[in-house]
Amino acid sequence: MHGAEDDSEVTGVLSWFPVELPPAQRVIGLFVGKWTIGALRPVVQLGIPDLLAEGPRTATDLAQQTGADADALYRVLRCAAATGVLAETAERAFALTAAGQGLRTGVEGSVRDMFLFASDPMMWRPYENLLHSVRTGAPAFDDAFGETFFDHLRAHPGSAALFDRAMVQNHYPGTDRIFERFDFSRFRRIADVGGGRGQFLAEVLARHPGCTGAVCDQPQVVAEAKAEFERRGVADRATAVATDFFASVPAGYDAYFIKHTLHNWSDHDAGRILTRVREAVGTREDARLLIVDALLTGPGAWDLGKLTDIEMMAVLGGRERDREEWNRLAAAAGFAPANDPAPGDLALLEYRPV
């Protein structure tokens, strides 16, 4: 038996925080997330990482250039330095760290817009009453805003633009592993269902010159795909098809992949999307459904997907899924598993029509 004060009982995210507290109080360490994000948001909003791109500057200098209160700005910069996003030097001067580089505008690998989106009030407010979701199973977002998340984006162009920019930056290392390990060249014609501007499809086509493809999404979304295809040099092999994937999916493709989309939807609505894909596949036994999404681990194991699952529940009414849940969802639409990826990360699940 372990005693109540035994640090071996402190695991998972609780073990990340260097707070000298007994196990029964270590949950206080989770407050760090709120405090850190709260301090970093104005730092990013003021463009401090961009101002520091050429070298260290004092808090006073930065306050004068941004029109901020010098003392208040120093305090949030000091907090940012404590987290490792900035480095504090002598005389209240600050410099960017490698992590802080990711909060600059327009640089390779930037996650600035992802950070601003994740810390935006529209993404915070649903957590104020997550109990609503727990009690009803319905998104807390709808209760907080009086409309669904996607209706909210349609009514607020600025929020929609931030969402779109964030999704462009939404690139996990697991995606690169998928590109490296999966042979997309098996499929001559590929449909990217719900693929936004077509970044994922463009990467596939760039890596596999023998493939052609189409990104299939809402008209206002795919309108920007042509520029992405031209930028990646695949415009001669890629097209954009305006699609409502709840109504229909274009037929005639060898593979239909759906990346980071099905987790936005409940089992009912995700099943509707997969049913449309199955209808598009028709009698082609060699066609494949390729789902790129989180694949949850078993009980008690650390998994980022178990955290993002709460965001899906609170904001969209969607969910992350384990293998049994994915297989059950696919089977209901007429697909059977054709590979066995490891759980605990972004995975590519391949299914064949039955």
* Active site amino acids: 263
Name the pairing type of β-strands 212-217 and 189-193: parallel
How far is it, in rounded angstroms, from Cα 217 to Cα 242?
Answer: 5
What's phi and psi for 210, nearest 5 deg?
Answer: -85, 0
End-to-end CA distance of the chain: 51
Alpha carbon distances (Å) from 106 to 50, 101, 109, 224, 227: 10, 11, 9, 18, 17
Distance CA 325, CA 293 (A): 12
Cα–Cα dist 16/29, whole Å: 8
Alpha-carbon distances, residue 118 vs 83, 123, 184, 196 (angstroms): 18, 6, 32, 19
Q: Which of 70, 69, 67 is nearest to 58 (CA)?
A: 70
